[in-house]
C-alpha cells in the first residue's frame, strides 16, 4: 500500500545565510514561507537594547526563545531561553530586548497573517507579512552578495 503525501521540507541551517533585517536592528534568516496560509518562519538574533515599534497581529504567532531574553512593554512576563509564547489574533504590543543582556537574543518566530506597525496614536504606519519578509530576506542576500537560497517557499 502506498500513501500519497507531500514531501517533508528539510533545510540545513548552514544552507541559509544570516542577513540584516532592514526594519529593525536584528539579523535574520528566513526558514520558510507558505503563501497559502500567509505564514513565515524566521530565525532571529536581536541585539541588547533593541526596541521594535508597537504592532498588531492579524494572525496568530508562536515564538520560542532559544537564548537571551526579551519583553513586551505592556506585560510583566519575561521571555527567557526555553520560553514559548503564543500570541492570539489581535495582539498589540511593543517588543524590547533588555540592554543589560550579555549578548544577542535568539528566537524562532512563526507568524501568520499581517503585522500592522502603529504610531503613538495607534494609527497605521505600515504593514508587514510573509511576502514582505521574503522580499526583505532576498534583498538582504543580494545586498550581501549571497546566492538566493532554495526551498524557502512551500
CATH number for the domain including 124? 2.60.120.10
Domain assignment present for residue 112? The answer is: yes
**Tally of structural domains, the chain:** 1
Residue 2 inside a domain? The answer is no
* 7 contact partners, CB below 8 Å, separation of at least 6: none
Burial class (CB in 10 A: 0-12, 13-18, 19+), 83: middle
- Residue 95 in domain: yes
Using only C-alpha atoms, the chain has a radius of gyration, in whole angstroms, of 16
- Does residue 148 lie in a domain region? no
Q: Which helix (H) or strand (E) holds 30?
A: strand 26-34
In a domain, 153, yes or no: no
Q: What's 102's DSSP letter?
A: S
Confidence band (pLDDT; 50, 70, 90) for 1?
low
In a domain, 28, yes or no: yes
pLDDT digits (tens, 9 = 90+) for 45-93: 999 999 999 999 999 999 999 999 999 999 999 999 999 999 999 999 9
Amino acid at each position: 500500500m502506498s500513501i500519497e503525501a507531500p514531501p517533508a521540507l528539510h533545510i540545513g541551517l548552514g544552507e541559509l545565510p544570516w542577513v540584516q533585517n532592514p526594519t529593525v536592528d536584528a539579523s535574520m534568516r528566513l526558514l520558510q514561507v507558505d503563501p497559502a496560509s500567509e505564514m513565515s518562519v524566521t530565525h532571529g538574533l536581536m541585539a541588547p537594547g533593541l526596541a521594535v515599534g508597537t504592532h498588531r497581529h492579524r494572525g496568530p504567532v508562536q515564538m520560542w526563545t532559544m537564548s537571551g531574553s526579551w519583553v513586551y512593554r505592556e506585560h510583566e512576563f519575561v521571555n527567557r531561553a526555553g520560553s514559548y509564547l503564543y500570541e492570539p489574533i489581535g495582539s498589540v504590543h511593543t517588543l524590547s530586548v533588555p540592554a543589560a543582556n550579555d549578548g544577542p537574543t535568539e528566537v524562532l518566530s512563526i507568524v501568520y497573517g499581517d503585522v500592522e506597525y502603529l504610531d503613538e496614536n495607534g494609527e497605521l504606519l505600515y504593514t508587514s507579512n510573509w511576502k514582505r519578509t521574503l522580499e526583505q530576506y532576498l534583498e538582504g542576500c543580494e545586498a550581501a552578495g549571497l546566492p538566493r537560497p532554495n526551498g524557502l517557499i512551500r
